[in-house]
Structure 1
């Protein structure tokens, strides 16, 4: 017989002693979790089939914040304690904390098979269903939990929230109020009830409950966040901002809070700060389509249109059916002057939502810009039919029609008079100009001027106009560009036996149409662009860009002094730069018009860059020209002077004085004056005179200028698609009694000249 020896696996069937188990429990109870873990690790190693030690190790890992290790230990425990409902319940809790919902559901169900009356398992199973948005199943589980323990606050509160989600608002309110009554010191109970009451429209009580929750716990982010959302809806932007800032400090990775902070800042017109918040939301969640959209809106407000376009496209990549983004992208493309692409975007938005009044409106504006006026009217009228209270289409259509008595749109526009003060300032301005035009069409000139005056007053208060700066600018121009200055330049050119622009291709002839705004520049360009040799480029900013680059000053502070000592070669380079940029618009044209009216300021430079340039000075009766400006709203903040009669009169006087200066210091014939009144009286004779000056043969098509469908991007877009009409001549006299100060300013200058 052989003596018996212990085998290596002898301890696997043994159990820890009661003293070892008591020591483990004591360490756990005393919260010495690291020592408890060491003890449990030792026991599970020594007794790997002892279920209780695995159960204890799972609980210890949970306390130590090791969820995966807890799941591993508790899974082991279920193997050795398959009928222990607590083990399955604890394993379900660990799965739930890791958002492993299907595994959590399975564990809780197993616990309930073992112990059907396990209230906590029913409750947590309800939490699993709620997290899965299976609200009906969640409701059933919470109701079972409450049948087992009717005053279980967490179940009362959770059932109330689920009923809220199911639209059973009144029943949900009962449970939420019960939870708050039982435990008034839990801020979550007040927050949940406040959320429900806010949806019911009881914002006053909701706000009170949110503030009550914050008294209990000032650092509870949910009531702070929800109260901020309530306050922003009530336009209490400053306090809402403070609360959103608190939320992102408490939860820096909460993308929605950063997004709503951005919305709050945007509502306060703090667009760069809003941009920062939207970008932070996107750092946290790059797939946040709404944040991409709102970032695009903030960038557009900062006139960073190319970046805005990219943000909108990012949103559409994530959410192709995002209707508002198609609309917003169309707006950005319109402002980028990419009208065909904008039109596609508006149509795309309307495919998703045919009743999108704003999209119909802006499609109409885009079509109007493209010169497709009848289509534009149809789109604008469609917007009106969808929403008769929507102001913008009435504003857009005003320049496309002549109002007559009994027009139904008159009553709709007049209806807005009672609430116009509730509109944003920009909308109020557009409204007053539109209704001013309507009353003018109807011959109600007193009401018309009153509307124009209100619109101009609002607009002028929103722009910056520095009269002293403008006076100094004109003085600097006249001081530098003297006859002596030009004679010296001509002499230098003779000495070098060449012209400053002798190397510039002679087949490219720029035509500058300039003068006072609303003096007929658009009509002149429309007539000329109908000639087959002429491309009408519209109001170009290229000359300004050339000057800014030459003078190294965007605000003209160093102009024209910075170019006083330019050489002939430098003038040549400036001219070449201008031509290269302009001829990108129409490479095969021999003549291109630039009808930027303000180029009258730069005639001296134009002459030095192009000694043989064609410069057409559009002239008009000063009162008609000025009042036509006063009765128009221009894009963005252009022509700020035109919104105040005093500034308008002074601007006109400086303009006409400078034009007289150019006629004095430049060679005779450099500038061709063309009066608007002569043009409408005898269009053919004036057109022939202008073409002769330019050096082009007569073409009968110039008389059919109104059939030219080219785009016109100025306030005259509708007028130039009509045959010549004379109703604009002496138009100002209908308003003579209101224009006394303007008339006096202009007459005073004439008296001073004749003195």
Structure 2
């Protein structure tokens, strides 16, 4: 028997040591490298497997089985780019393979290329209609793009074929909750718990649904029961944070604060790859560099954007989501739901932050470079808004774009800036108590002291900008919006340059079909009320260490000390 065939027989028999010895004797034979790669995979060495299989692919680039194993090893090793290359080659070799298209979708998802992953999953479903894993993952990438309603439809169609699939049911339940279709989400939870009674994420979701309905006793009992069991750290943190919201609504401020502190302590242990200090350095660098009038004398763009974009900024938890939902209901406006076109445009420049080159590098940009960045902004805007929004006035709402207003005044001098303000004490309390998607900035909110320090950096920068920015600016206070909704929105629309439309006051009519990407999606579905104003008073004892840091801003923004 050929030694490599003998090695393959040993591999199939589970004798890895003998298989490895025989494959190794095959040297650079691609069959031997392939076999060595499979041995490495079975031993849990995905990186070693991807290296060996990659060498084999170089020798046999059209072998479907080899390409599939190579891509799989890369996926298991977290090597997204190589996985995409391997599966892209495989779909060229085997274009009618639904499995190849599905795996390419997985690789593109790992590579953070959701639109391309969506296309690959759709091709897999076209080749193999009803394929459950492709439908499940397609829903996931749609949800990741904020297209939650479309994702729910995909999951519902898959469930029509496989009504007792726990993963599909769980995904659909969470999607329905995101769309504020609470009773449907509850029904999906009940269906899943009949199949898997101890499904902890769904037990948590069901308790959250009770909280959102106002059934606080049921919600509290649900979270308490979960926390008496053994939970994964991330789920335990979520349960503590949810319990804190219930306790807050029950008026039990001290226990609520302790619960959220526990949640944040757990989240801190899970935090990987994020640097809260980096976000602070961004604001500090801009404050150190920026000066009023720095763009004076610069050549103005000869291709003005019309209608002029609006940058809607502020510190997180300043009520921006409420105003955005009102503006999104206006027929002439298109809001971004925190998918800011500016992010992609500034990302290459911000890479110089670590070396100290940014933001000073803005001064070295010539007219051609500025024009290229403006084109990038237009293209990114078109990508985010799609055909329906391109003719409307853009409202780019990402609160911490406030930091980069010094760049915006150069790149987009026709822009207008809308700034949301709120009592700094309520803002910092809300940031500390809120569960955010992690990034450098949001990581600051896991600690009360860093929350206040970050607030001081960002809003201290705003106080510098306020009197010298070369852009039209309007700020408004959350408390004034709550006190006079119509009057405040009229003032904002007048500033933006659009007529008042009654639809802005009936924005809640759209909330069962519109996904709100921010943590405020719960609050904005409720009638406008004053519950969040002055909330900090109940927590004054716990907030005492940061009140001196916030005091200058309390005074500057006109709040009572």
Q: TM-score range by the shorter chain?
A: 0.7 to 0.9
* SS class of match (1:688): helix
Displacement of 1:395 in angstroms is: 4.7
Q: 1:555 to 1:530 in 2, by over 3 A?
A: farther
Q: Where do 1:217-228 residues align within 5 Å?
A: none
- Partners of 1:306 and 1:577 lie apart in 2 by 18
The answer to whether structure 1 residue 658 and structure 2 residue 458 are counterparts is no
Displacement of 1:314 in angstroms is: 5.7
Which residue is 1:623 aligned to? 425
Unaligned runs of 5+ in 1: 1-62, 66-96, 98-187, 193-209, 222-227, 494-499
Which residue is 2:31 aligned to? none
- Partners of 2:229 and 2:88 lie apart in 1 by 37
- Partners of 2:409 and 2:54 lie apart in 1 by 60
- Partners of 1:405 and 1:660 lie apart in 2 by 41
Give 1:683's match in structure 2, choosing from 478, 485, 497.
485
Q: Where do 1:2-17 residues align within 5 Å?
A: none
Which residue is 1:436 aligned to? 244
Q: 1:303 to 1:565 in 2, by over 3 A?
A: closer
- Partners of 2:65 and 2:220 lie apart in 1 by 44
The answer to whether structure 1 residue 729 and structure 2 residue 533 are counterparts is yes
Which residue is 1:102 aligned to? none
The answer to whether structure 1 residue 390 and structure 2 residue 193 are counterparts is no
Contact 1:615 1:672 in 2 (8 A): yes
- Partners of 1:749 and 1:587 lie apart in 2 by 37
Give 1:703's match in structure 2, choosing from 474, 480, 505.
505
The answer to whether structure 1 residue 332 and structure 2 residue 136 are counterparts is no
- Partners of 1:262 and 1:438 lie apart in 2 by 46
Q: 1:402 to 1:446 in 2, by over 3 A?
A: farther
- Partners of 1:345 and 1:723 lie apart in 2 by 31
- Partners of 1:64 and 1:717 lie apart in 2 by 64
Which residue is 1:404 aligned to? 215
Contact 1:538 1:712 in 2 (8 A): yes
- Partners of 1:343 and 1:356 lie apart in 2 by 14
Which residue is 1:347 aligned to? 156
Return the structure number with greater relative CO, CA threshold 8 A, min gap 6. Answer: 2
* SS class of match (2:309): strand
Displacement of 1:552 in angstroms is: 7.5
Displacement of 1:604 in angstroms is: 2.1
Which residue is 2:519 aligned to? 715
Q: 1:342 to 1:215 in 2, by over 3 A?
A: closer
TM-score of the pair, normalised by structure 1? 0.58
Contact 2:310 2:395 in 1 (8 A): yes
* SS class of match (2:263): helix
- Partners of 1:450 and 1:359 lie apart in 2 by 35
The answer to whether structure 1 residue 323 and structure 2 residue 132 are counterparts is yes
Q: 1:310 to 1:703 in 2, by over 3 A?
A: closer
Contact 2:124 2:134 in 1 (8 A): yes
* SS class of match (1:716): helix
Which residue is 2:285 aligned to? 476
Q: 1:708 to 1:296 in 2, by over 3 A?
A: closer
* SS class of match (1:540): coil
- Partners of 1:556 and 1:285 lie apart in 2 by 46
Q: 1:378 to 1:319 in 2, by over 3 A?
A: same
- Partners of 1:550 and 1:244 lie apart in 2 by 34
Q: 1:485 to 1:277 in 2, by over 3 A?
A: closer
Q: Where do 1:111-260 residues align within 5 Å?
A: 237=44
- Partners of 1:572 and 1:243 lie apart in 2 by 46
Displacement of 1:654 in angstroms is: 0.6
- Partners of 2:429 and 2:272 lie apart in 1 by 19
The answer to whether structure 1 residue 414 and structure 2 residue 224 are counterparts is yes
* SS class of match (2:418): strand
* CA RMSD of superposed structures (Å): 4.9
Which residue is 1:54 aligned to? none
Give 2:325's match in structure 1, choosing from 526, 529, 532.
526
Contact 2:147 2:515 in 1 (8 A): no
Give 2:113's match in structure 1, choosing from 298, 304, 308.
304
Contact 1:464 1:640 in 2 (8 A): no
* SS class of match (2:533): coil
- Partners of 1:336 and 1:587 lie apart in 2 by 16
Displacement of 1:372 in angstroms is: 5.0
Displacement of 1:515 in angstroms is: 0.7
- Partners of 1:242 and 1:322 lie apart in 2 by 31
Displacement of 1:598 in angstroms is: 1.4
The answer to whether structure 1 residue 743 and structure 2 residue 547 are counterparts is yes
Q: 1:305 to 1:526 in 2, by over 3 A?
A: closer
Contact 1:575 1:609 in 2 (8 A): yes
- Partners of 2:55 and 2:370 lie apart in 1 by 58
Displacement of 1:655 in angstroms is: 0.7
Which residue is 1:514 aligned to? 313
Displacement of 1:526 in angstroms is: 1.8
Q: 1:589 to 1:403 in 2, by over 3 A?
A: same
Which residue is 1:563 aligned to? 362
The answer to whether structure 1 residue 458 and structure 2 residue 266 are counterparts is yes
Which residue is 2:33 aligned to? none
Displacement of 1:543 in angstroms is: 1.0
Which residue is 2:339 aligned to? 540
Give 1:363's match in structure 2, choosing from 172, 184, 195.
172
Displacement of 1:442 in angstroms is: 4.0
Residues 13-59 of structure 1, C-alpha deviations (whole Å, 9 max, x = no match):
xxxxxxxxxxxxxxxxxxxxxxxxxxxxxxxxxxxxxxxxxxxxxxx
Which residue is 1:47 aligned to? none
Residues 157-187 of structure 1, C-alpha deviations (whole Å, 9 max, x = no match):
xxxxxxxxxxxxxxxxxxxxxxxxxxxxxxx
- Partners of 1:601 and 1:664 lie apart in 2 by 15
Displacement of 1:268 in angstroms is: 7.3
Q: 1:623 to 1:560 in 2, by over 3 A?
A: same
Q: 1:711 to 1:592 in 2, by over 3 A?
A: farther
Displacement of 1:597 in angstroms is: 0.6
* SS class of match (2:417): strand
Residues 614-657 of structure 1, C-alpha deviations (whole Å, 9 max, x = no match):
21111112222122222222235462322232322221111111
- Partners of 1:621 and 1:278 lie apart in 2 by 52
Q: 1:396 to 1:418 in 2, by over 3 A?
A: closer
- Partners of 2:22 and 2:2 lie apart in 1 by 24
Unaligned runs of 5+ in 2: 25-36
- Partners of 2:331 and 2:165 lie apart in 1 by 41
Displacement of 1:512 in angstroms is: 1.6
Contact 1:551 1:563 in 2 (8 A): no
The answer to whether structure 1 residue 504 and structure 2 residue 307 are counterparts is no
Instruction: Count how many residue pairs are aligned between Structure 1 and Structure 2.
Output: 531
Displacement of 1:749 in angstroms is: 7.8
The answer to whether structure 1 residue 593 and structure 2 residue 395 are counterparts is yes
